[in-house]
Structures are given as C-alpha cells and as structure tokens.
Amino acid sequence: MTADIGRVPSSAGRTPLTLWSRVYGFGSVFAKTLRDSRLAIIIVAGLLAGLMLSSGAAFGEAYSTVASRADLANLVANLPPAMTGIYGNPFPVMIETLGGSIAWKTGASIGLIAALWSVLALSATLAAEARRGSMELVAVTPLGLRRIALEKLAAHLTAMAIVVVVVAASTWLAGAAFATLPGDEIPLESAVGFGAWVGLVALASGSVAFALAPIVGRGASAGIAGAVLVGGYFLNGYQASVPAFAGVANLTWFGWTVHHQPLTGQPDWTSLAVVAIVPAILFALGVEAFARRDLGSTSRIPWPGFPEALIGLRGPMSRSFGERLPLALAWGLGVGIFGFIMGAAARSFGEELANISPATLDIIQAVFPNIDLASGAGAFLQLVFVEFGFILAGFAAATFVAGWASDETSGRLEMLLTTPMARARWAIAAGLGVFGAIALFTALLATGIGLGAAIGGGDVVTPILGTVVLGLYGLALAGIGLAVGGIVRTSIAGEAVAAVVIVTFLIALVAPALKLPDWVYQLALTAHLGQPMVGIWDPAGMVACLVLAVVGLGLSGWGLSRRDVAA
C-alpha cells in the first residue's frame, strides 16, 4: 500500500530569520561561528593594535632627532646578522623612519601572532565541533558538508579581515600620532599593504591547519601547522646570519615576502599574490577533506601523555592545575623562549650601541634614567620585553581563568558539587589551581629569561626576580577574573580578564601620550609595578597584586556560595 503525502512546497515551513537572529549570530553557520569568535577577535585585534601603537610611541619618543635616527640606522646597519634577524625581519630598510623601525622591530611579530591565532582557530573550527558531536546536528541540516565548511571558513576570513582592518588602521594611526620627523608618516596604502601581509601570512599558516584538521584532528593539525609557522619564522629571521637557512627560508611565505616592506614605501605585491595561492589551495583541500571523509573520524598520531601524578586526581586543586597544565606549559615555553631570545640578545645590542652610537645610548639613558643598557640583560629586557610581557601574562591568566570557568560552563560543576564539597571550597581550591598554573608559567618564563640573561651578560638574578612581578600581575588579573566568575557568572570571567588587560595597556599607552591627568595613568596596575627587570621594585603595587589575587579568590568562593549554579 502506498500513501501520497503530496509535495511539500520548498518554501513551506521555512522560518523567516528575525533581525535579532541575524544580529545575535544565529542566522547561519557563518554568523554563529563569527559570534563564537568575538572574544578572540577582540583579543587579537587589541593585542596587535596595542603592539603597533606602543612600537610607534616608543620610537617617536626615543628617536625624535635626526642625529638619533642616524645613530640608530648606523647601529642597525652594523649589527651582526644574528641580531638583525632577531625580530623576524632579516633585511631591515629605512630604519631611520618610523615605518622602517616598526617593520623591523614589530612587523614580523604582528604577523606571527596573527598566524598563531589563525592556526588555533582553523584547526578547531571543524575538527573540534565534529569531535564534540554538535557538528552531527549541523551536518544533518539541508546545508551540506561543503557549505558548512565554507561558511565556517568564511567566518574566519571575516574575523581575519576585521583584524587586518584594525592592524592597518592602527598602523596608519601610529604614523599620524607618533611621527616626529619628515618621512615618518605612514600613508594609508602602506598601512593597507602591511595589513594585507599580516592577513595573508596568517591565513597561509592557518590553512595548513585547516587542510590537516579533518584528517589528523585538531591537536595534531595545530601542532604541525604551528611547527611550519614557527620554523618558517625563525628560518627567515636568521637566513642572513645562517646562510644554510636561506634555501629553506625561501620555501616559506615569510621568505617569499621578505622584501615586501610597505611601511618604507617598498611593497612587493607580487609576492603577496604568490602567498595568497597557498591558502586558496589548502582551504579547498580542507573543505574537500571535510566533505569526503567520515565525520569526526581522524587518524591518530602517537603522542606521549602526562604522567598520572601530574593529571591531578586527588582533589579540586590538583585537578584544576592538571587541567591547566598543558596550557601553562604552552604559555610558559612560548613566552619563555621569547624572553630567552631577548635576554640573549642584550649583550650584543648593548655593545653595538655603545660602540656605534653613544649618542643613542645617551638618549635612551635620558628617557629612561634608571635603565643602563651597558649594565646587562635586565636593562634590555626592561626596555623591550616587560610591556609586552605584562600583556602576555595577562592573556595567559585570561585563558587559565576561562579554563577554571569551564567546570561550570560545561556542566561538570553540577556533578562536582554533589560530592561532599562546599561551593566555596571548589571555587577556592580550583582557583588555587589557576594560581599554580600562573606560577608554572612564571617559572618557565623566569627560566627562559634567566638562561637568556646568562648569555646576554650582567646580573642574572634581578631579571629572574623581575619575572616574578609579571607573575604577580597575572595573579592579580586572575583574582579579578575569579571574583567576576564567582559573583556574577563564570561564562564571562575569561573575557573580564582579557578586557582588564587591554584597558590597562591602553591606559598606560594613551594617558601619557595624550597628556591626560596623572590619576588616569595611575589607574593602570602596570603603572605601579616599578621597573622589575632592573631591580626597581614598587612594593605597593606588588602588594596590591597579591591583595587582588587573594581577595578575588575569596570573593569567588563567597559569590559562588550565594548564587545558583548554572545548569
């Protein structure tokens, strides 16, 4: 027997999208993905814009005379190749201009950070959702796997476009705000050229992860793409000092675009077009791999796990620390290597500066009277690392707090709190696990800086102790995040910390530049932390950090005890 149910019109049952759905990100896979990326966009755009503006401000302030610029150019021209390439740009040009200086010192780092984000985002966008099962629900809608992959990809491309616009705008703004000599202005097309390079290099790196993720899963694809990215960055940076690297460096997108220097008026658009081919091909491969393979099925790459003692099964504190451990190691090793390179470069930089440009040394000494570059690694680290280090420590704290919050946001807390454990105990013990992760991050960073300082020369102990101040800053921000999570809700705790990091950085950057009242500058916690790498301590600020950490931890326990646990 057959039954004719008739033909349903194709438009039947199709709910019209409300404006609210569109605005809030529920109108499509694209919009939902973009919505889920909003925190990352804010962090990355804020970080890169901050880096650009702080580089511009520092250059404008330190090199405001023709003589000092000439000295700087002379210094850089005579630096050993190993030093020249330390910032990832082995062939600096027009270093005496604001654009040239930014391109040499900060440009490659901005590209590296954007690329790291792209790798993390594109390795997860399909694979992570497939693994947790939500992709199956999306996949059985009438969209089709290719379209889902394309919409998710389009969302990342849009996110990257937003970041590129912010980078280009901040580059142009740095030129407009901090130009002190003719030639410092950065034309809009130059800023756009730089932004385009950042976006394309980032997408090329991310596309490796995107193409591999459907095959090997999120972690392995991120690892492989990350290795390609970091390897390419360093091979390119050191190709001038290690000729053997040059051949391999020319296989990387960093090498292809090494002569694209738009901030000095020397763009190489052809090289950008070549780079653009990489993501175009790899994105297509990734979409096809996702569409053709079994959903969520990946080939496992053998990888050693943590020893069971470190996983943390004894209680909420050890569990919280165990959960944060991989992230703490990643942050600590990453920033620690950066600190190591900075510390190791100190001697070479100081000696060259003293030999080639005593006048520049005098200028730096006049602007930063407590910093004697001839004294060793600490001074160099204070000059070039600490400000960035505070930002990184803050964002590390934000990710640890977000992990702490995930017990509640994922629904685990419901089961945990029906064991004989008071809410306050969970909040405080798990918060202490977060503090432990920050301590590990700080220890690894201190190790990197200590080893670097030992190579760089001078006092080793002071920079190591100075790193502790970065850790205290991280603890303070974590305390704020824990308090927000306990009292208000945990789902915004990580965002709250990230917001404090960005606001603090902007206050410290903008208040002096705009000559705002001193009390505005004093609002920034970093204004009260002295110059730790050279042993100038501010006990009040350090105590304030500890108080924020301890009080925040206590408030998290108190707050959680008084409110409903989220379902």
Partner 1 sequence: MTAVIETEALTKSYGPHRGIVDVDLLVDEREVFGFLGPNGAGKTTTIRTVLDLIRPTSGRALVFGIDSSVDPVAIHRRVGYIPGEFTLYDRLTGRQTIEYFANLRGGVDKAYQASLIERFDVDPSRKFKEYSKGNKQKVGLVIALQHRPELLILDEPTSGLDPLVQQSFYALVREASAEGRTVFLSSHILSEVERTCDRVAIIRDGRIIKIDRVDALRDLAHHQVELRFVDGVPVAEFEALPGVSEVVVDDHTLRMRVSGAITPVVRAAARYELLDFVSREPSLEETFLAQYGQEAVKTSRS
> Where along the sequence are the contacts to partner 1 (CB under 8 A)?
131-132, 308, 311, 313-316, 319, 323, 410-412, 414-422, 564-565, 567
Question: What residues contact residue 118 under an 8 Å CB cut-off, 6+ apart?
Answer: 156, 160, 202, 203, 205, 206, 209
Distance (Å, whole) CA 191 – CA 188:
5
DSSP state of 11: T
H or E, element range at 7 = none
Measured from the CB atom, is 105 or 218 closer to partner 1? 218
Instruction: Give the SS3 label for residue 266.
Output: strand
Cβ at position 111, least distance to partner 1 in Å: 32
Q: How far apart are CA 105 and CA 263, in angstroms?
A: 12
List the structure tokens of 478.
Answer: 């974590």
Residue with Cβ nearer partner 1 (313 or 514): 313
Q: How far is the CB of 561 from partner 1 (least distance, A)?
A: 10
Q: Which residue number, 50 or 316, has a Cβ lying nearer to partner 1?
A: 316
Question: Of 161, 192, 200, 219, which is closest to residue 282 (Cα–Cα)?
Answer: 200
User: Which residues are CB-neighbours of 32 under 8 A, at least 6 positions away?
Assistant: 25, 26
What's the min distance (Å) between Cβ of 311 and partner 1?
6
Instruction: Considering the complex, state which of residue 128 and residue 551 has its C-beta at the smaller distance from partner 1.
Output: 128
Measured CA to CA, the distance from residue 461 to residue 542 in angstroms comes to 18
Please report how close the Cβ of residue 426 comes to partner 1 at its closest, in angstroms.
Answer: 10
The residue among 91 and 558 lying less far from partner 1, judged by its C-beta, is 558
In whole angstroms, the minimum distance from the beta carbon of 315 to partner 1 comes to 6
**To 10 degrees, the CA torsion angle through 519, 525, 530, 532?**
-170
**Least separation in angstroms between CB 8 and partner 1:** 20
At residue 250, φ and ψ (nearest 5 deg) are -70, -5
- Determine the Cα–Cα distance for residues 128 and 162; give it in Å rounded to an integer: 23
Residue 225 to residue 219: CA distance in whole angstroms: 10
CB 149 within 8 A of CB 291: yes
Which one, 131 or 489, has the nearer CB to partner 1? 131
Closest CA to 473 of 521, 532, 429: 532
Least Cβ distance, residue 123 to partner 1 (angstroms): 16
What is the dihedral angle through the alpha carbons of 490, 493, 495, 500, rounded to the nearest 10 degrees?
Answer: 160
- For partner 1, which is the closer residue by CB, 135 or 200? 135
CA–CA distance, 102 with 174 (Å, rounded to integer): 10
Nearest approach in angstroms of CB 565 to partner 1 is 5
Query: Which residue's CB is nearer to partner 1, number 28 or number 561?
Result: 561
At its nearest, how many Å lie between partner 1 and the CB of residue 187?
49
Residue 412 Cβ, how far from partner 1 at the closest point, in Å?
6
Give the residue with the Cβ less far from partner 1, 316 or 532. Answer: 316
Instruction: Specify the residue, 176 or 565, whose C-beta has the smaller distance to partner 1.
Output: 565
Tokens 């696990």 -> residue: 433
